[in-house]
Amino acid sequence: MYDLVIIGAGSAGLPAAMYASRYALKNLVIGEMPGGALATSHRVENWPGTQADSGKSIMDRFAEHAKASGSEMLVDRVVSVEGTKGAFTVSTAGGKTVEAKYVLLATGNKYRRLGAPGEAEFLGSGVSYCATCDGNFFKGREIVIVGWGDTAATEALYLAELCSKVTILVRKDAFKAEDVWVKKIAEHSNMEVRFNSAVAEIRGDFMGVKDVLLQDGSTVPCEGVFVAIGSDPDASLIAPLGVALDHEGCVIVDKTQATNVPGIYAAGDVTTNSNKFKQTIMSAAEGCLAAHSIHEDLLRSEA
């Protein structure tokens, strides 16, 4: 029996684990992707005390700190959470079942899909949602990135360092990205931006992606398509327990990070807290606060 099982090994889950261990709570972190979303960022410049470093490097240090504090780690995917406060059962895809007095949801977001024909078919064979993860497979090749916000802009800049040409497809007539990224894009000779360009189909053959068909009938030759159109909170695991969500699917939490279901807490991008400002520093703070709140609640329960 764990005092706390933390679902998600990212910028909310790992700080929560570290604080939980400092409070002498027996805790287990279960995460399918160690480091979470930040681990896929090739360059992070807004983590205090670190002017510039890779997301993976920062998250590796998070994990090392949590382990050194006494937290246990399991790389696996949670498939269900059942039970009530003091007696939750958490089951994983790998066949492991653990019990916990409290559960902290720190699953972050899931990538949005285009929904275009060919997207699912060529996933892993030319279609990707993570430039840092898969960019090296496309060195010297022409690729397309679909998106219009900061994520698309920064991933496109990263890919421009690897690929011979990067074409950014923006479905509207302007970027939503910060001006600093838009200016950097304009400085690259191997980058092209096509506005009012919506994807109709991703095409290819058994060898992989060959081109992108746009809704205006034109085509963009490429060997890779990176989709960067945002993400949505992933609360599917605890929704069956009756956890309240807002209209965007975010978990509603109070000032202690508690949900409406006793024993279930949430932290990070999946929640309504921090004014939904989805930044690592906010997720880390929420994770630490959640661990503190759980510790206090446990003390009250055992008094």
Residues of the chain under the 50 pLDDT cut: none
Tell me if residue 133 is catalytic.
Answer: yes
Domain assignment of residue 119, yes or no:
no
Q: Which of 175, 193, 227 is the last residue of a domain?
A: 227
Report the C-alpha gap between 141 and 163 in whole angstroms: 5
Q: Which of 134, 211, 234, 269 is catalytic?
A: 134
Q: Which of 76, 133, 150, 232 is catalytic?
A: 133
DSSP string, 212-247: EEETTS-EEE-SEEEE-S-EEE--TTTGGGT--B-T
8 A C-beta contact, residue 142 and residue 167: yes
Report the C-alpha gap between 31 and 18 in whole angstroms: 15
Are 131 and 157 contained in the same domain?
yes
Domain extent for 293: 2-110+231-302
Are 63 and 157 contained in the same domain?
no
**What's the CATH number where 181 sits?**
3.50.50.60
Domain assignment of residue 118, yes or no:
no
For 64-116, how does the pLDDT look when each residue is reduced to its tens digit (9 = 90+)? 999 999 999 999 999 999 999 999 999 999 999 999 999 999 999 888 889 99
**So what's the pLDDT on residue 42?**
65
Domain assignment of residue 153, yes or no:
yes
Q: Which of 60, 130, 150, 232 is catalytic?
A: 130
**Within 13 Å, how many C-alpha atoms sit on residue 136's CB side?**
4
Q: Which of 193, 227, 261 is the last residue of a domain?
A: 227
Are 57 and 87 contained in the same domain?
yes
8 A C-beta contact, residue 62 and residue 39: no
Domain assignment of residue 120, yes or no:
no
**Within 13 Å, how many C-alpha atoms sit on residue 277's CB side?**
8
Tell me if residue 216 is catalytic.
Answer: no
**So what's the pLDDT on residue 224?**
94
Tell me if residue 232 is catalytic.
Answer: no
Prediction pTM value: 0.74
**So what's the pLDDT on residue 104?**
98
Domain assignment of residue 9, yes or no:
yes
Domain assignment of residue 143, yes or no:
yes
Domain count, the chain: 2
Are 73 and 61 contained in the same domain?
yes
Domain assignment of residue 68, yes or no:
yes
Counting DSSP H helices and E strands in the chain, the numbers are 6, 17
**So what's the pLDDT on residue 132?**
72
**So what's the pLDDT on residue 178?**
80
Domain assignment of residue 115, yes or no:
no
